[in-house]
Amino acid sequence: MATPIEVSTEDKLEYNFFPNTSGMLQFRVRAANDAHVALAPTAAEADPMYEIFLGGWGNQKSVIRKNRSKPDVSEANTPGVLSPGEFRGFWIRWNSGTITVGHEGDNSPFLSFQDSEHIPINYVGVCTGWGANGSWIIEQSAGGGGGFGGAAPSGAQCWVAAEGGNVPPSSFPGGEENGEPIYVIRSNFQGGLIPGKLLSSHGTAYVPWGGAENACPQYEVLCDFNGTWTTCSGANIPSNAVTAGQSEDGEPLYIGRVLHEGSLTVGKVQASHAVCYIAYGGQELGFPDYEILVS
């Protein structure tokens, strides 16, 4: 993990922008109210953009706003979510128009928004206002991303957005089929962030869900990662297993793989189901014995 960035923001509602293409931001902030985060294609407060307001309206409510316009696209009652006396931790994830916001250590988001418009996020901005100053500790992602970004809860990871079968530099191969590498990916699908596989020659990634092999033309690829695989079975998840996403119900999902019909195929591990699921031959197949990716 790289050294965190520390930022101080005045009571000015002026964003401090930094490059971030990692798809995730993990941070802690100390402020009495109104800690604002912007997600934008450019380092400017201009449309299109998203804003996340934490502890607004006197530290009573948090919202997601698009293009600086009301009505807000998502809101939640969050009384006391910020504190002027202690740092509070949060994460923000974005991928293919889906934005989720959650508390540090909690995989279930308290704010979420699915946008039919795909706005590329290249910069993140932070600011405070409405009577509040802020102190921020922002985690930097290991590897690509060009700036600060979120490491996933399990450790240093770098997820790079891609589509159409494209493989970013330094992608992490997790298996192979007929001599072709299978890369580790994740994609937003049916309200979850689901780990799966990418075969570049297919022009798409796949995730196992709902009994089917589901094509996901837009996805994130695990890059610049030095993890290893270890044998596993059932719900016996190692403490250093890589958390790569979450189910639609907020349960953590891990990265697993199995050898099936000559293909070493990457999929998802869901502890409550006690299996590794892979997408293969149009189906979602479950295996109680598998390998799991650890950091």
**Tens place of pLDDT for every residue, the chain, 295 residues?**
345 788 999 999 999 888 887 788 889 999 999 999 999 988 888 899 999 999 999 999 999 999 999 999 999 999 999 999 999 999 999 887 899 999 987 878 999 999 988 888 888 999 999 999 999 998 854 333 333 333 333 334 688 888 999 998 889 999 999 999 999 999 988 888 899 999 999 999 999 999 999 999 999 999 888 889 999 999 999 988 988 888 888 888 999 999 999 999 999 999 999 999 999 999 999 999 999 999 8
How confident is the model over 149-206, as pLDDT tens digits? Answer: 333 333 346 888 889 999 988 899 999 999 999 999 999 888 888 999 999 999 999 9
Q: If you search the block for the tokens 């290249």, which residue do you land on?
A: 122
Query: From residue 27, how far is each of 1, 24, 89, 219 by CA, in Å?
Result: 13, 10, 6, 24
Contact between residue 130 and residue 183 where contact means Cβ atoms under 8 Å apart: no
Nearest to 149 by CA among 138, 135, 137, 160: 138
DSSP state of 54: E
Residue-level pLDDT at 282: 96
Predicted local distance difference test score (pLDDT) of residue 157: 66
Indicate yes or no: pTM above 0.85: no
Q: Which CATH number does the domain 5-138 belong to among 3.40.50.920, 3.10.129.10, 2.60.120.560, 2.40.70.10?
A: 2.60.120.560
Domain range annotation of the chain: 5-138, 158-294
DSSP symbols for 173-198: EEEEETTEEEEEEEEEETTEEEEEEE
